[in-house]
Structure 1
């Protein structure tokens, strides 16, 4: 169980590889560091291990890739603040996120 994302939201995220082949999948969840410029947009979530995510990461570079919720829960920004979920974020097409 993740501290970052409630189980009710995790069950609504597509399973890993479920959106493979889609040109414009939905970014379902937005996580961010409140004291730096890093943001993670979750597109897929592993129902098998309940930890692995696939999504778009915006930081020093912007790229699609895999990351784990466990890893994100252990990260703190320069002021010691933990990663948070953007509570006002609505699922948004990847192409829209990538433009911003």
Structure 2
């Protein structure tokens, strides 16, 4: 198999003889372009993780995490992701320990 570099709209990627992205590169491209619902959900999961981490820092007393929380929340694309983000912002990150 021959691998070659080609330029995509966003960067150089390796491709095989057929011009298709090589190996796991296609999954990365799918994630980065967010053209599928699966890719949008994966991106939302990453953003939710960042948001929840910022909320945990805020709960621990760190200041100046508001921008981090806001930018993470604003980048969430799916309705379900936004519902999860809203819930994360309303409930203490340690509430699960009290159940």
The answer, yes or no, to whether TM exceeds 0.5 is: no
Q: 1 or 2 for the larger relative contact order (CA 8 Å, sep ≥6)?
A: 1
Name the one with the larger helix percent.
Answer: 2
Larger radius of gyration: 2
Question: TM-score scaled to structure 1, two decimals?
Answer: 0.25
